[in-house]
Amino acid sequence: MKTPAELEKSAALQVAALMAAAARTAPKTCGIDNIKTAAIDDEPTKQKVISRMREIATKESRPGLARDAGNIENSPALVIIGVEPNPAGLNCGFCGKPTCEALEMAGGTCTFNSIDLGIATMSAAEVAGRFHIDNRIMYSIGRACMDLGMFGPKVKQALGIPLSVTGKNPFFDRKA
């Protein structure tokens, strides 16, 4: 027989896999496949992320990162979604540069890459919501994961989604 805690953790991990699939298959500008996904489901890795979030909070005077680190202490899983810079080749100027080549030379990230990251992340969060798994999109988790090199050097933007299966959403009433 499984305990409620075991069942809840299992549900969160199953949904994390479905979220990663939703993010990966989300629509992308010009069909350019530059979305990367991962899930953190082990305590040592999660603690590394939490520690890095707290380090950033102290070093950069960003108390929100420390708050977010506390929020994810009891999360059974974190879904991380990143995007590799890859200009869409549209030369649209939406990024502030006249051409995609000028953007690449400046080391910037295509605006459409950020939009693709948002669409992928919202697709993943929608899956969690559909299965009644509490979640919240956090830039702070993505920042810590990038700092830790979890996506390698190519990913320049990432977001994280912690999951929770408890009686009350721990990501809702957050203290500043």
Q: What is the total residue count of the chain?
A: 176
**pLDDT confidence band for 176 (50 / 70 / 90):** low
Instruction: Give 5-35 as a 3 state SS string.
Output: HHHHHHHHHHHHHHHHHHHHHCCCHHHCCCE
- Which pLDDT tens digit goes with each residue over 56-78? 999 999 999 999 999 999 899 99
Nearest Cα residue to 148 out of 46, 75, 66, 61: 46
Query: Long-range contacts of range 19-25, CB-CB < 8 Å, 24 or more positions apart?
Result: 19/79, 19/124, 19/125, 19/127, 19/128, 19/161, 20/79, 20/81, 20/124, 22/120, 22/123, 22/124, 22/126, 22/127, 23/79, 23/81, 23/120, 23/121, 23/123, 23/124, 24/120, 25/123
Tell me the domains of the chain and their CATH numbers.
4-164 (3.40.109.10)
Percent of the chain, pLDDT > 70? 99
The whole-number average pLDDT for the span 17-21 is 98
User: Is pLDDT above 90 for 26?
Assistant: yes
Task: Could you list the beta-strand ranges (E) of the chain.
Answer: 35-40, 77-83, 134-135, 157-164
* DSSP annotation of 138: B
- Which pLDDT tens digit goes with each residue over 33-54? 999 999 999 999 999 999 999 9
- Which pLDDT tens digit goes with each residue over 127-174? 999 999 999 999 999 999 999 999 999 999 999 999 999 988 888 777
Nearest Cα residue to 36 out of 75, 86, 108: 86
**pLDDT confidence band for 86 (50 / 70 / 90):** confident
**pLDDT confidence band for 87 (50 / 70 / 90):** confident
Instruction: Kindly tell me the sign of the dihedral angle through the C-alpha atoms of 56, 58, 62, 63.
Output: positive
- Partner residues linked to 161 by β-bridges: 79
Separation of alpha carbons 114 and 42, rounded Å: 28
